[in-house]
Amino acid sequence: MKRRVLSLILVPFLLFYAIPQSAGAVEKEERKWQDETIYFLMVDRFNNGDSSNDFEVNTKDTKAYQGGDFQGIIDKLDYIKDMGFTSISLTPIFDNQELGYHGYWINDFYKPEEHFGSMETFKKLVKEAHKRDIKVILDFVVNHVGTEHPWVNNPEKADWFHEKQEMNFENEESLHNAWLDNLPDLNTENPEVRAYLTDAAKWWIKETDIDGYQLDDVQHVPQDFWKEFSQEVKSVKKNFYLLGEVSQENPTKIAEYNGLGIDGFVKVPQAEEMRSVFQKTDQSLDKLFAFWQENENLYKDPYVMGTFIDNHNMERFTRPIVQNKLHPGTRWKLALTYMYTTPGIPIVYYGTEIAVDGGEAPDNRRMMNFRAEEELMDYITNLGELRNTYPALTRGTIEPLYESDGMGIFKREYKGETLVVAINNSSVSQEIQLDAADLAKDMELRGLLGEDMVKEEDGKYTLILDREQAEVYALAEKSGLNYSFIGALAIVYVLFLTFIYLVWKRGRNRRKSDN
């Protein structure tokens, strides 16, 4: 009897604590590419999962194969998923000539590189990724082949290539026809070449069920090729994603490739600015903020553009941080916070989670070391969870609220959900007051990365952020005592105690009558 009464007494308390105390996210909608977060890895340098294909491997030579393969990626899919990534992007996996560990010296477009594993293993990789709701993107090269490709010395294929000439990056004809890095340049104006490349791209989709291509060196191929290629490739699989790489620091040059069927482009200019801003303290975020309006004006859909901080073609972002004698983890957190919370699809180069250092290629392609930097990895995981939970970060509008001397604040809004992102890139603590008119009155900002809580008082929200720190806040109703609920709870207790009293009194009267 006593146990039953105690359980009844506890029920109201359990109901009280079951009430959600944090800001809720907008109801989940159908997943789109702008909702993705991509983990980009170089197959040979990520993880060795199958020693049977370790021929010609030399771990002491940075220009030789290191042993990474398809099985190694399969073995680490849970590792990738646990950090919040929803897609993986791989460097070219096609058969390459000797020392083509990176995948860009292609010998055969219809065969996987034997150092990486068999076609069966790659198909398994895609299936295992899909089981975990992870999409797979491949780097596809149409501009050139390796110097040892069978076509190169085949007289019947002479018109499949442009004549060898030195590249002039200022001349459009040279940009399309010259040999980049002395690699045989494919004549993509030739209908036979076009048909071959397009058929190969479609074949891989049909055979393996991959989800997208990253298109290498888009600016070195005529635009009419890309229009035809995009139409053909997308006819094979619904919602197939094409991400173009246009190696231009001028955003207007990248925008020239709008309307060709390529969904998005990697934002090289923004990457360069992020590297400049976040490699040291007290750098203004003003130019980064200006990119938002520019992106909306220039690109068809800025939300499916690829954002990145470093990749296999530039020195690791950790390098300038170390040169500036600063802590890599701290600097990386600020840069990643910005990238994860602004429009675009974040692309994180493997090893970022342990702040890998490295100079120019191949030093920036070191074999992955899985001895984790728990703090940075946990931070990336938290950012990934926020992107997967709050649609405002992937679909919402963006509006600057404050920027001065390295301190920047902006808000993202989507269907009534409001998030405020504060990044203190300065060397001192900052105290900033935001007007309630820019947010809402009688509300509070709840920290999602830390435990900060900012309540509106006298029409102001006062944010205090330590040096080199960032926080993402959710706008929510003020927390505190719920007097209506407490009143209802009191009534329940009065009724409950009255019931107990009546039961006790009735029992006592019964005992008296029995005597």
User: Tell me, what DSSP letter sits at residue 311?
Assistant: -
Which DSSP string do the residues of 70-81 spell out, in sequence order? HHHHHHTHHHHH
- What tokens were used for 118? 């068999």
| Cis-peptide into 362, omega within 30 deg | yes
Element (H, E) at 499: helix 483-514
Sheet strands side by side (includes 264-265):
264-265, 241-244, 212-215, 135-140, 87-90, 38-41, 345-349, 306-308
Inter-CA distances, 71 with 47, 118, 125, 168, 430, Å: 8, 10, 7, 41, 48
Show which residues are catalytic.
216, 245
CA–CA distance, 361 with 352 (Å, rounded to integer): 16
CA–CA distance, 434 with 407 (Å, rounded to integer): 13
24-27: Cβ within 8 A, 24+ apart: 25/389, 25/390, 25/391, 25/417, 26/390, 26/391, 26/392, 26/414, 26/415, 26/416, 26/417
CA–CA distance, 72 with 92 (Å, rounded to integer): 16
Closest alpha carbon to 315 in 282, 356, 277: 356
- What tokens were used for 399? 């509006």
Inter-CA distances, 90 with 379, 411, 424, Å: 24, 33, 34
CA–CA distance, 243 with 307 (Å, rounded to integer): 11
CA–CA distance, 213 with 200 (Å, rounded to integer): 12
CB of 200 closer than 8 Å to CB of 151:
no
CA–CA distance, 50 with 179 (Å, rounded to integer): 36
CA–CA distance, 272 with 295 (Å, rounded to integer): 15
- What is the three-state SS of 322-358? HHCCCCHHHHHHHHHHHHHHCCCEEEEECCHHHCCCC
Element (H, E) at 374: helix 374-389
